[in-house]
Amino acid sequence: MEPLRRDDPERSGPHRNLARLDADREPGLPARRFIARSADGDRTFLAFLPRTDADPNRWAVEAEGARRLSVPGFLPVAEVGGTAELPWCTAPYAPALPLPAALRAHGGPLPEPFVRALGAALARTLATAHAQGVTHAGLSPAAVLLTTEGPRLSCFGAVRAAAPDGEQRGGLPGLDSGSLAPEQAAGGRPRPLGDVYALGAVLAYAATGHTVPEGDELPAGLRALITACLSRDPGRRPQAHQVLAHLEPAVPVAGAPATVLDAAAPLPLPASLVAALARQSAQVLAAELPAPASLD
């Protein structure tokens, strides 16, 4: 949670923006993300506006597509509105840390057991989406929001919003180049194995602080899996359900305690992240609606 800048909009649709979710100039973000409150002060939202250099029509199409989805682990989009020139959408607010903010709060890369549990949760979400014929096409470190209820995937459709199929996407604003599968960067249609490439980049980032790390930077227990996900050849990447099978443990023996990787266990947040979420929650509760701009 960061203070609003002077050039930030006061509103996302009818809602008043209280703060920015992301640090200044966070790379690879397809949207401007705010914590916003309804005019009556009763409800709080995560609010999204397209970047000023984005195609608002393409962005709005993906926002509406996200609103129509019901995939566990995707950030649920509740409202889509605005004009063709300035669309907006919202999601219900819960304290949430984008993955880059989580690394800053932790003081560096996250512990390997947490990265494994995070990978299992994200792979489960992607496997569910892919089984429904849905490609996320926007996974990157900034798209992953960590909450006490588990990770939520935002930025749905960022690749599709950036440019139509057949046009080069490499280097376009709003896309994280380290998380963009080579075939998508070249203009290929987003497909599930592109999501797996992005998943590998996210896990590499969580474990090292880089989406394209040197091989020996990666934890030994995750090195082979992440390297396979990041293969430039889609045919050499595992599918999401295979990543999940690799990261999940065997079914526990009856009566045995749940492990941090047990599918029924919540994502175990490091204490540093729990503290950061608590601070954000307190700041949001204490935040007052900004005063309207003077008409003088």
242 and 181 share one domain: yes
Strand partners, 48: 33, 89
In 51-166, which residue ranges form alpha helices assigned H by DSSP?
Answer: 56-67, 99-106, 112-131, 158-162
Amino acid at 34: F
What is the per-residue pLDDT across 240-262, written as a single tens digit (0 to 9) for each?
999 999 998 643 434 434 444 44
- In this structure, the strands spanning 31-37 and 15-20 are antiparallel
- Binned at pLDDT 50, 70 and 90, residue 295 comes out as very low
- Binned at pLDDT 50, 70 and 90, residue 25 comes out as low
225 and 280 share one domain: no
In a domain, 228, yes or no: yes
Q: Tell me the mean pLDDT in the region 85-105.
A: 96
State residue 265's pLDDT score.
55
204 and 172 share one domain: yes
Q: Tell me the mean pLDDT in the region 63-79.
A: 97
- Binned at pLDDT 50, 70 and 90, residue 214 comes out as confident
150 and 238 share one domain: yes
State residue 262's pLDDT score.
43
111 and 72 share one domain: no
Q: Which residue has the higher pLDDT, 55 or 260?
A: 55
16 and 106 share one domain: no
116 and 186 share one domain: yes
CATH of the domain at 15: 3.30.200.20
State residue 66's pLDDT score.
97
CA atoms within 13 A on the CB side of 70: 0
- Binned at pLDDT 50, 70 and 90, residue 264 comes out as very low
- Binned at pLDDT 50, 70 and 90, residue 292 comes out as low
243 and 108 share one domain: yes
In a domain, 219, yes or no: yes
pLDDT at 82 over 50: yes
Q: Tell me the mean pLDDT in the region 190-203.
A: 98
State residue 125's pLDDT score.
97
Q: How many domains does the chain have?
A: 2
48 and 125 share one domain: no
In a domain, 123, yes or no: yes
53 and 107 share one domain: no
State residue 104's pLDDT score.
96
Contact 241, 125 (CB under 8 A): no
Host domain of residue 236: 97-247
Distance, in Å, from the CA atom of 30 to the CA atom of 13, rounded to the nearest integer, reads: 18
Mean pLDDT across the chain: 91
Distance, in Å, from the CA atom of 172 to the CA atom of 163, rounded to the nearest integer, reads: 8
**From 23-27, 40-44, 142-146, 264-268, the region with the lowest mean pLDDT:** 264-268
187 and 47 share one domain: no
